[in-house]
Amino acid sequence: MGVFVFLPLVLPLTAWPVARLATHRLHPRTATRLLTWVAAVMAACSTVCLCLLMVVGTAQLPGNPLPDGWSDPEVRAVVPRDEIVGKAAIPALIAVVSAAAHTLWRHFSLRRRAHASLARLRGTQVAVLPDPEPYAYALPGGGRGRIVVSTALLARLTSPERRALFAHERTHLTARHHRHLLTVRLAARVNPFLRPLSSAVAYTAERWADEEAATQVGDRRAVARAIGKAALPPDGANGSNESNGQRGSNGQRGPGEPVFAAFAGLAAPGPLPRRVAALLAPPPAAPGRLRSFTAVGLATWTAGAGTAASAMSSASSALTLATTLQAATSL
């Protein structure tokens, strides 16, 4: 394995340029899918390499259940600084697994709680909640998913803006944006170097829904106005309140609290001025062949090369360790 076993842990750095450029230069749908796949592959490769390092580290611990041959010098020699790196990989892998498990538990727990709170409104895809707090979000699961919106937000929107809002939220459901968001969040838990991709996908998914809503409604300015109005604080609220379901004076949220930020739609916090500016500009070009000799093209090729190198390094390291273990033991 040599130093190649460490490459998948740092190669996510090669995706930082495309994470920055894709939000501006690529169609939001293309950017979301590209960044999600890059993050997923790189996170998987990082986890594989941590597992390989953990095997070498566990074999050095007294009383471990592994065969004696796994601690042979031949096996330990495949990892540089095995006495330090191998043992350090054990708590690192435990932390990664714990963080990923907590993210998954929180995702499904909050989604289950959200559906339970809407049980009295069964049979309707759109749940309108009487709440003075303005918010709207798409809640996946339970069949086709549901759109949750408060009466306060509907009251401040005109008819075209309401159509834009519902088109935006339906896009979140039909395009299954929650899967993209969950994937990149898990990837960021596995490898902190992938956090920029998680932030980028959170933005491009919103932009994807914005553009789909503008296409369906036929009025980009109506979508932009809906975004701006959804971000405004409640009537009479001070400027310190949050835009994503502001808290009241008693510090509590209303019954329609967006319990999972990944499901939030137009009311989600984020670079709202950039989204509005993009909607006031001409629509982005349809996804097509990416030109190599441009900034975003070179960044994409760099991320692709880093992803391929990460996959090859992790596969080569796994094969090398398996071959060494087979020679050192009776496997």
pTM, two decimals, is 0.83
Residue 130 has pLDDT above 70, yes or no: yes
The answer on pLDDT for 259 being more than 60 is no
pLDDT tier for residue 168 given thresholds of 50, 70 and 90: very high
Model confidence band, residue 232 (pLDDT cutoffs 50, 70, 90) = confident
Does residue 174 carry a pLDDT above 80? yes
Residue type, 145: G
6 Cβ contact partners less than 8 Å away, ≥ 6 residues apart: 49
pLDDT at 63 (0 to 100):
58
DSSP state letter for 264 = B
Q: What is the pLDDT of residues 59-118, one digit of tens each?
A: 666 655 566 566 666 666 666 666 677 778 888 889 999 999 999 999 999 888 888 888
- Position 262 confidence tier, pLDDT thresholds 50, 70, 90: very low
Percent of the chain with pLDDT over 70: 76
Q: In what order do the strands lie in the sheet with 126-129?
A: 126-129, 146-150, 136-139
pLDDT value of residue 328: 62
Cα separations in angstroms, 211 against 71, 133, 188, 282 = 57, 26, 26, 11
Task: Give per-residue pLDDT as tens, 273-324.
Answer: 889 889 998 888 777 666 667 888 889 899 999 999 999 988 877 777 777 6
The reported pLDDT for the residue numbered 85 is 72
What percentage of the chain's residues is helix, strand, coil (to nearest 5)?
65, 5, 30
Q: State the pLDDT at residue 12.
A: 94
Q: What pLDDT shows up at residue 214? A: 94
CB 223 within 8 A of CB 210: yes
Do 2 and 80 meet the contact criterion of CB atoms below 8 Å apart?
Answer: yes
Q: Which pLDDT value is given to residue 245?
A: 36
Per the structure block, which two tokens stand in for 274?
Answer: 């950039």
Does the pLDDT at position 163 exceed 60?
yes
Would you state the pLDDT for residue 69?
61
What average pLDDT does the chain have?
80
More confident position, 286 or 211: 211
What pLDDT, on a 0 to 100 scale, did the predictor assign at position 61?
Answer: 62
Confidence band for 230, pLDDT divided at 50, 70 and 90: confident
Of the pLDDT bands very low, low, confident and very high (cuts 50, 70, 90), residue 159 is very high
Burial string for 101-126 (b: 16+ CB within 10 Å, else e) reads: eebeeebeebbeebbebbeeeeeeee
